[in-house]
Amino acid sequence: MGPLAGLKFYKEDCMFGKKMIKRGGLTAGLIASLLIVLGAVAMASVPKGSVAVVNGVAISQKDFNRALTQLERRFVQAGKKLEGKQLENVKGNILETLIDRELLYQKSQKDGIKISKGEVDKQIEGLKKQFPEKGSFEKALKSVGLTQSELETQIKRQLAVKKMIDKEIAPTVKISDKEAKAFYDSHEKIFKRPEEVRASHILIKVGPKATKKEVATARKKIEAAQKRLKKGEKFAKVAKEVSEGPSAKNGGDLGFFRRGQMVKPFEDAAFGMKVGQVSGIVRTRFGFHIIKVTGKKPASMVAFAKVEDKIKAYLKQKKIQDEVQAMLKSLRKHAKIERAFSVPKK
């Protein structure tokens, strides 16, 4: 039964009620009471504190709330807020994802997949290494509403599902050379390397809101550096001595960059010059620059041989995901799934 089931039944009941009212068979008050009772009966199969029951196994409200809270935090970090219809749709997606996870775990257990304590401990240790400061791991667990025991359970379930997929699905998925080449040929933009320029610069800082006096002082400094270059001094030497940018210690070297990685006036100047050429004074929001182009790489395609293995790995993973979805479709078809709520689709 899909996520619209409850809403559908409610709508049908309302339609039935309207017909009976027209016939004089039921009063509006009795219809309303009947709908409330029917709703209570439909929800009774999902125990309190749960959001769904999958083949007799309850999915807890706590797990649902934890997933929702984590997602809401991501939206907040991105400067957004989940609300209204979007929030309801997200809740529906979370519920269905939790149901999918339960179905896959049940399948793994039915197939006899076992996960040892050692396998779980290894994963836990790997996680702890990401939190070197004392107490930071425990603090991180608390922030996402997990106990150590709950984390171990989650990891055990995830490993069981992964092992099942690796054992039953992955070996059956093969990617031919022809498929990989076809993907390469049809996704030229992915494998195209844009033109790149390597440049060094001398920077005298002056902000966009600088006073006339500050601008004049900065211009005198950059003009003095320009005179030194015209007299034949090495660009790197002058950059090390007078440049106010972080690249000064490297003689002003910025390495290779492509369009879009530098502010536009700087970029336009660099890409419009030949190797070995030194620019005039260029102003950006950071200040005054003198730029020297030291290298160029023309636009090119990454050779198929260099990316063939990565393409095959990507296509294999995609096929595995498709097979998992097919498995879930079959599991859902034969499963008994009861939900505590239904959310309209987008």
Main-chain phi, psi angles of 262, to 5 degrees? -120, 160
Across 8-12, 24-28, 218-222, least confident range? 8-12
Main-chain phi, psi angles of 55, to 5 degrees? 50, 40
Contact 57, 335 (CB under 8 A): no
Report residue 34's pLDDT band, with 50, 70 and 90 as the boundaries. very low
User: Per the domain annotation, does 240 fall within a domain?
Assistant: yes
Specify whether 89 is located in the same domain as 149. no
Concatenated DSSP letters of 49-93 = TEEEEETTEEEEHHHHHHHHHHHHHHHHHTT----HHHHHHHHHH
Specify whether 269 is located in the same domain as 124. no
How far apart CA 221 and CA 219 sit, in angstroms, is 5
As a whole-number percent, the residues of the chain with pLDDT over 70 amount to: 86
User: Per the domain annotation, does 35 fall within a domain?
Assistant: no
User: Per the domain annotation, does 185 fall within a domain?
Assistant: yes
Residue range 245-281, pLDDT digits in tens? 999 999 999 999 999 999 999 999 999 999 999 999 9
Specify whether 90 is located in the same domain as 182. yes
Specify whether 286 is located in the same domain as 342. no
How far apart CA 60 and CA 54 sit, in angstroms, is 11
Structural domain span for residue 177: 45-110+169-192+303-346
Beta-bridged to residue 283, according to DSSP, are 288
The mean pLDDT value of the chain amounts to 87
Report residue 345's pLDDT band, with 50, 70 and 90 as the boundaries. low
User: Per the domain annotation, does 212 fall within a domain?
Assistant: yes
Specify whether 62 is located in the same domain as 188. yes
Specify whether 249 is located in the same domain as 104. no
- Find the CATH number of the domain harbouring 314: 1.10.4030.10
User: Per the domain annotation, does 261 fall within a domain?
Assistant: yes
- Higher pLDDT, residue 11 or 164: 164
- Provide the whole-model pTM: 0.66
Report residue 286's pLDDT band, with 50, 70 and 90 as the boundaries. very high
Structural domain tally of the chain?
Answer: 3
Q: Is residue 1 scored above 50 in pLDDT?
A: no
Specify whether 178 is located in the same domain as 65. yes
